[in-house]
Amino acid sequence: MAAAPNVAILAAGQGKRMRSALPKVLHPLAGRPLAAHVLAAVRNLGPRAIAMVTGHGAQAVETALAAPDIRFVRQEPPRGTGDATRIALSVLPPDGITLVGLGDVPLVPPEALAHLVDLAGGERLALLTARVREPFGLGRVLRGTDGNVRAIVEERDATDDERRIDEINTGFIAAPTARLAQWVARLTPHNAQGEYYLTDIVAMAVAEGVPVVAHTVTDEASVAGVNDRAQLATLERIVQRRHAHALMTAGTSIADPERIDVRGRLTCGRDVTIDVGCVFEGDVHLDDGASVGPYCVLRDMAVGPGTRIEAFSHLDSASVGRNCRIGPYARLRPGTRLAEDVHIGNFVEVKASTLGAASKANHLAYIGDATVGSRVNYGAGSITANYDGANKHQSVIGDDVHVGSNCVLIAPISIGAGATIGGGSTIVGEAPAGQLTLARARQVAIPSWQRPRKAPKPHEPR
């Protein structure tokens, strides 16, 4: 492989067809901005330096993509890809090879870029091209009778015959940096757009006798750009099918590979099962034998072996131990840690709490900012009242505690091991270990009481 290249990524465009306040290169694909995918591809080359040209929404782009290895430079006003390349070269080393690419072509393969850099290493201008079924709107690659590349013509400037050509320019080029700088300095805006086209350097190279070579990719999707939301959705499904195929090849069962969304990194052990409509965000690991029911959302999760997550559950930044049962309709919020054999049932929410082995909260409950021991049975309708309007407070519930239904545990509070909290109690002080604690009004029956009656409506019989 050739020496490490300089890299210029052009990301200044507004993306008008996205019809969005968000700059185009920040629209998410599989959970990451479009330009982040391009950055990941070029980083595989071990570049000497990376310059990213920003323009529309520059501050938002620079904030979202900031990294120690990126030098941002702004193009104001926007004057085309040639002008953007000239600006990028002003902050890159003046020697070696420079690779220029677009921030809205997210699936470009690193190996194709590496090959492009290698081709340019012999004092040549190298282009990444593709043959596509529908070239409308894209720059066409013009070749001579000898088959060599002679020029690139943009759609708006092409003749009818040229528009019938199906080989297109992908927007990625590599060239010796010194020559590239000379070429872009000589560009003129004599075209339908009144812009400085980077593609005009091809004709300059040919005129100077510099070889122009092309690496043509066969996978059309790998060089597809994003200009509108429909194209973005098309690429999203391509990425998700790739994720699903890789997971299934590695032994994961996926009920429908067309209905899974991995918006980050999902790793699975052996014999993992994933039902339809699930979304995985951030970094998620499912251990051996884990299963995820339909329409669940997992974000930054570690799920232990044999654990079953039932339908419509939302789990965020938590860890779940071995052989747990979660859901359906359960919610685990950040900071939750469950030991083995824990049951969290329907409409139960747990936040910033730990639950020991074999503890259960099976329905309609809230546990927040609590340390819960092992083998605790937490009744339906019970909550930890952990917030006083200004501060969060801790609850400590010992091993083998039984909390009855519809209880309120007002933190800070401590419930001793083996204690029982009677149903309907509001507990404000320490509950002693091994004892029954009650805090509710005495039941009273009033024999002479009469329930109020509504006055009949005029049309109703008395």
Catalytic residue among 115, 243, 363, 402: 363
Q: Is 125 exposed, middle or buried (0-12, 13-18, 19+ CB in 10 A)?
A: buried
Helix (H, G, I), strand (E, B) or coil at 11: strand
Residue with tokens 């590349």: 149
Asked if 115 is an active-site residue, the reply is no
Q: Is 59 exposed, middle or buried (0-12, 13-18, 19+ CB in 10 A)?
A: exposed
Cα separation, 24 vs 104, in Å, equals 7
Rg (CA), the chain: 31
Helix (H, G, I), strand (E, B) or coil at 211: coil
Residues facing 449 on adjacent strands: none
- Comparing C-alpha atoms, which of 141, 121, 129, 83 is closest to residue 211? 121
Residues facing 126 on adjacent strands: 174, 213
First to last CA, the chain: 96
- Comparing C-alpha atoms, which of 401, 444, 392, 442 is closest to residue 419? 401
Q: Phi then psi for 35, rounded to 5 degrees? A: -65, -25
Rounded to 10°, the helix 34-43/58-65 angle is 50
Q: How many CB atoms lie within 10 A of CB 311?
A: 18
Please give the positions annotated as active site. 363
